[in-house]
Structure 1
Amino acid sequence: MTGDKIYNVLFLCKGNSARSIMAEAILNRAGAGRFKGFSAGSNPRGEIHPYTADFLKNQNYPIETLRSKNWEEFGKPDAPQMDFVFTVCDDAANETCPVWPGQPMSAHWGVPDPATVEGSEAEKRFAFADAFRMLNTRIGIFVNLPIQGLDKLTLQKHLDDIAGAARSAEPA
């Protein structure tokens, strides 16, 4: 992997309306031209969750190009070739987390689904902010890895460790 390469990163989730959309937006900003983020879902909702859109707008993220889509879109011959694929669904036992075929490096960075939170308006919006914070922490670690200087085995270990490292850095 060369230093001039732009790495394509796909974030996968079930509904592609909250977590994976946030991750795409975060990476496209934090990646500073070194990374291009994409997102998709195994059972896409077909629209961005209104709280996701509100949160991203309030944080000055562009949302015009974000859309909820099926992960099969990225399996087509004319789709961008992915270098990394991350699942962000929370609990693989209770959610459909797509398995991505092919050669991209992958890891599971589970984040609780804010779209399923019940409670007051404030509690729901807090869940979206919390999901964003977790993703932002993990993506911040990822974009600062010396990717071109790591062999595949070491890089894979770093990718697998990011969720745990980010969790230990987060307040309880």
Structure 2
Amino acid sequence: MAKERVLFMCIHNAARSQMAEGLFRHLHGDDFDVYSAGSDPQKVDPLAIKCMGEIGIDISGHRSKSLNEFEGQEFDYIITVCGNPYNACPFFAGGRKYFKHPAQNSRILAPQTLVFEGFEDPSAFDGTDGEKLELFKKIRDELKEWLEDLYYSYMIPERCNLSEERGECCGPNKEFSCK
């Protein structure tokens, strides 16, 4: 059975989407082929590499990729991790399901389409090196928590049956988190 494909997106593919790619591959790489890209790729942020290394995930070999590299490809999941009132996230055609970090008052507009707000961009933060690293760690931990919730709520491979272990809340058609 082929693995499902996941694409994490943000604007620069330098921090948030790189950390998400590393986290998701570490947690669920046996079941998913995991990629990341951006609409305006920049160099992978050294603080993203450092904060991921602190939890045993090496993303030092990652490189920033343009969404153009994936043009014409299909993905089972497109997951956007950017966005705030000051910038717009990219869009990539070719996804079966689209997800983005939920705002506190997120809502469903149509099946498989949710309204969300993204994670803060730690690369854009202006502070001391120590303050910047702390923000990277905060975003990394928020990403990990959200990705686990997303996985157990919507992405569990069909071959997995976690309903006995986690209760009857799990699965793509359930409205409650299984976390």
CA contact under 8 A between 1:42 and 1:96: conserved in structure 2? no
Say if 2:95 is the partner of 1:98. Answer: no
One-letter code aligned to 1:43 = D
Alignment coverage as a number of residue pairs: 150
Name the CA distance, whole Å, in 2 between partners of 1:156 and 1:53: 35
Aligned-pair Cα RMSD in Å: 2.5
1:54 aligns with 2:62: no
Hey, which of these two has a bigger chunk of helix by percent? 1
Asked if the contact 1:117/1:124 (under 8 Å) is kept, the reply is yes
2:11 aligns with 14
User: Which structure has more strand as a fraction of its residues?
Assistant: 2
2:68 to 72, 83, 86: 72
> Quick one: higher RCO (CA 8 Å, sep 6+), 1 or 2?
1
TM-score (norm 1): 0.77
Q: By how many angstroms is 1:64 displaced?
A: 4.5
More divergent stretch after superposition (107-116 vs 16-25): 107-116
CA contact (8 A) 2:47 2:133 kept: yes
The SS at the match of 2:5 is: strand
Unaligned runs of 5+ in 1: 167-172
The 8 Å contact of residues 106 and 156 in structure 1, kept in 2 or not, is answered as no
Percent sequence identity over matched residues?
27
State which structure, 1 or 2, has the greater radius of gyration over its C-alpha atoms: 2
| TM-aligned CA deviation for residue 90 of structure 1 | 3.0
The equivalences for 1:1-172 within 5 A come to: 4-45=1-42, 47-76=43-72, 79=73, 81-91=74-84, 93-109=85-101, 110-145=118-153, 146-148=156-158, 155=172
| Helix, strand or coil at the partner of 2:30 | coil
Distance 1:74 1:126 in 2: 32
Give the residue type in structure 1 aligned to 2:71: G
Superposition TM-score, scaled by structure 2 size:
0.74
